[in-house]
Every structure is written in structure tokens, then in C-alpha cells.
A and B are shown apart, each in its own frame.
Chain A
Amino acid sequence: MSVVIIDYGSGNLHSAAKAFERAAREAELDLAISVSSDPTLVATADRIVLPGVGAFADCRRGLDSVHGMVEVLQRRVHEDKRPFFGICVGMQLMATRGLEHTTSYGLDWIHGDVKPIQPSDPHLKIPHMGWNTLTQVKPHPLLDGIPTGPDGLHAYFVHSYALSPTDPANVVATADYGGPVTAIVGRDNLVGTQFHPEKSQALGLKLIANFLRWRP
């Protein structure tokens, strides 16, 4: 089985690749994990990971600049139903639109907009930066064996914008930051996390292993 982490010029992917390798090793999964900007590799990979840091529009531009990538992604995700995992801005790109600085369009896999976080408590700092617990909204294999709730494990967040899915059924988990902030979205063979699993120590490695085992 092969996993491809898509490299489209959005930051360093060594630590993401290492986290996937370690999660696979600890889960005793025999996987080939590659970091690549080659759409032909995405066309054959069994599982696809789309990372992303920075601004929504920049990431969208970066993805578009890899010739053929968006088309291959659409085909693999919609027709071939390959498991897909978006991380941080990679997750935000699953939305219909991003409203950061300017309005730009996402892949429209999870209907909804990526909007500024507006905590009810004005004293709360933006970005939402650091370790937060998760509130599970609906069951999902990605969270198997991961303690959630106030006494659960923590995930590492750093973001000022968040995805608000039109259909609440696409929200798997939220984090509390002056109100619920979308932390995990999921639908069919698609999942995405606003937090960084590759920076989230125990929770992150477990969640990555769950993705690698997932058979949607």
C-alpha cells in the first residue's frame, strides 16, 4: 500500500513524512510513504495526504501551479474513492471558499466557508495557538481509541481562520475556543483536521495510524 503526501511548495514536509512513517511503524503497517509533487504518483497512491501552511489563497495558488494536480485529486477522491486526509490549510482547501485576505475558491468537497475565528470572549487571543482538547460530535474511525473531551488528549492548533461546514453532519469534532471551532471534518472517504497531527505527539500519531488503517 502506498501513501503520498502532496508537496506543492507549502512548507516543510519532512516532519509530516516522519510522523506518518513512525505511525505506520508503530501500527505495524507495511506502507510506502512518499512526499511528491508528481500527479502521476497521486494517481496511483492508495492514500492521499494534502498538508498546507500559510494563507488559503497562497496554498490554492500553489496547488494550481502543479500542472494536472487538481484534476488528479478530483478523480482519485471522487471516482476512485481513495482515502484523503487534509491537514490545516490542506483541510481548509476542502471547503467551498476561503475568505482570508481575499475570497478564493477551494475544492468544494465540504460545502462551507473558511472564515475568521470570532471567539465570544474578546480577551481570547488570535491566532488560536497551542494545545486544545477535542469534543467529538459524531463517531468516526479517525478517532478510534483516542480519548476526547475535557480530560482527553490534546491536539496542536495554530490558525486564525476556521472552516464552517454548511452541513453540520460533516463536522466530526470541534475544539472549544470561545465557542466551538471546527477541528475535524469528515464525509465518505474524506477527512481533514484543522490541527497538526504531525505536531500533536500521542494524539497525532494515533490519529495518523487510524487514517492509515481506515477503510471508508
Chain B
Amino acid sequence: MLKVRLIPCLDVKDGRVVKGVQFVDLVDAGDPVEAAKAYDAAGADELCFLDITASHEARGILLDVVQRTAEACFMPLTVGGGVRTVEDIRRLLLAGADKVSINTAAVKNPDFVREASEKFGNQCIVVAIDAKKVSATSEEPRWEIFTHGGRNATGLDAIAFARQVAERGAGELLVTSMDRDGTKGGYDLALVRAIADAVSVPVIASGGVGNLDHLVDGVEKGHASAVLAASIFHFGTHTIGEAKGYMADKGLKMRLDEPAQNASARATGMTLS
């Protein structure tokens, strides 16, 4: 049976993890490759890098980070942030990313999704949908697509956009509520569910996780195939193992294999908080 995926996400800027990852004994908490290895050893189901590097010149650094991660971690890696062209996607895939997430470029031109998926296969094209609720409390809920970290409104309806990019070949949708992101108040479950029920491709819930029940809700109430979180793992509030164990206790089908790298992690003295 297919399992629910738990995906830690790392924000990377100029080749460094933005907020640092607070694992015990991590040699360099700011090194995304070190953090990736720790998540791999802890049994994360996939890993996501979001590149928030501002300057185009510094983007080569990310390719090096992706390459070193892919060589050290035998788990799927999604990389997003600033992906504008087919050439950007090609470079990331060649560096070792398994999937590439597209955001603004898909909003500006949904046909870019078709171009990318025809070239590389829909299995590696993720469209990141950043949405905010724009309806009043009394109205039927409605969400709009925003870009640039939630600053720029586009006027596009989130559900219609999700359908559109799924039809054009997105293999997966990463749905982030810009209202909830960073609040620790839980996913916008109505948004996630509305999109998950509208498309035939898997949906990853993102934005707002503050506790383990939020992860469970993302699947049970949001109908997501995978759940993404950042800070609850980076700051050591919960380990990947605790989260997966908790989700399994709540009745979700989780992968609880002994991770491959435990033995080598123990050998090098690396432990996880």
C-alpha cells in the first residue's frame, strides 16, 4: 500500500540553510548537505530545498549543494525557487534533483508547465501554488494565487489554476497557504482539500504546521498525499521519527522502515535530537 509522505523543507540562501537546523551534534547546522543527510538518516520520505537566493549570480552555488546532496542521500529530492526556464530545470535535474518545483514562471505562463513536462516527464515537474484566502467570512471560500512570497496578487483563482497546471502536465502540486505560512496555526485545510479534490495528481500540503496533529489533519481533512513542514523539525521541536510514529498511531499509513543510514550515522557519532 502507498504510504503518506512526510517532507521536511529547507530554505536555502546563497548555499546556506537560512534559519539553521538545530540538531544535536550536527557538524555544521548551516550546511544544507549536512541537514539533508540528517533528515535522510531520520527517515524523511523526501526532501525539499527552496532556494531563496536573490542574485542570479549566486545560483550556481545551489547546483553544487544539490549535487553534493544527491551523492550523499538516497532519497527523492525536490528543488524549487527561481526556476524560470527549461534550462534552469535541466541544470537542476542534471545536478541530481529528482523533481523541480515551478512557481512564478507557471503563473506567468501555464504553458511553461506543458513545455517542461513534455521535455522532462510530468513525474519531475511540481507546481508550487501559493494562495491566500480572498473571500469574506460570509462568502463562499475563494483563494487567489500570489507570487513573490505572498506580496503580489495575480487575480487568478487558486482552484482553477490548480486544474489548469495539472492538465498541462504537472506531476504534483505543492499547495502553500500564504495566510498560514509561519503562523504554526496549521494548514489551510479547506484550501488543500478543495485543490486535492479538484485534481487527479498528488497534492502536498504546506504552510503553517505547528504541531503533529496539523500533519494528521493535512491528510485526513485536507486529503493531501504528502505533508510538508519546516520549522517544527529544524528547531528540534519534533523529530521525523516522532512525527511519523504519531501519524501512524492516528491511523495513517506511514513508512516506518529502519532508515538505511542509521548504521553509518551511528558510526560517525552523528545523533539526532
A residues near B (Cβ < 8 Å) are 11-12, 14-15, 18-19, 22, 53-55, 58, 125-133, 150, 153-154, 156-160, 175-177, 196, 198-205
Contacts and interface: CB of A to CB of B under 8 A. Distances in A.
Nearest to A132: B2
B124 A127 contact: no
A176 B201 CA distance: 18
A89 to B, nearest CB: 8
Contact of B255 (A53, A131, A159): A131
Contacts of A22: 74
24 contacts: A18-B70, A18-B71, A19-B74, A53-B120, A53-B121, A58-B121, A126-B201, A127-B171, A127-B172, A130-B2, A130-B3, A130-B5, A131-B2, A156-B76, A158-B98, A158-B123, A159-B123, A196-B76, A200-B74, A201-B259, A201-B261, A202-B260, A204-B74, A204-B260
Contact of B200 (A125, A199, A205): A125
Contacts of B123: 53-54, 127, 129, 158-160
Q: Which 7 A-B pairs have the closest CB atoms?
A: A54-B121, A201-B260, A202-B260, A131-B255, A125-B202, A15-B70, A158-B123
A199 B76 contact: yes
Chain B, interface SS category = loop
B225 A198 contact: no
A199 B260 CA distance: 11
B162 interface: no
Contacts of A133: 1
Interface centre among A19, A53, A131, A133 (most CB of B within 10 A): A131
A128 B72 CA distance: 25
B10 interface: no
A205 B74 CA distance: 9
Contacts of B71: 14-15, 18
A140 B120 CA distance: 33
Interface stretch (B28-36, B88-96, B229-237): B88-96
Contacts of A205: 74, 260
Given A53-B121, A154-B255, A203-B257, 16 more contacts: A14-B70, A53-B124, A54-B121, A125-B202, A125-B225, A126-B200, A129-B172, A130-B45, A130-B202, A131-B45, A132-B2, A199-B76, A200-B74, A202-B259, A204-B260, A205-B74
A150 B1 contact: yes
A54 B70 contact: no
B3 A132 contact: yes
B118 to A, nearest CB: 8
Contacts of A177: 2
Given A130-B2, A130-B225, A132-B2, A14 B259 contact: no
B121 A176 contact: no
B257 A15 contact: no
Contacts of A203: 257
Contact of A131 (B3, B94, B171, B258): B3
A176 B2 CA distance: 8
B105 interface: no
B122 interface: yes
B94 A12 contact: yes
B2 A153 contact: no
Interface string B236-273: 00000000000000000001011111000000000000
Contacts of A18: 70-72, 74
Interface in B52-89: 67, 70-72, 74-76
A138 B48 CA distance: 36
B72 to A, nearest CB: 8
B195 to A, nearest CB: 12
Contacts of B1: 132-133, 150, 176
A125 B121 contact: no
Contact of A15 (B2, B74, B172, B200): B74
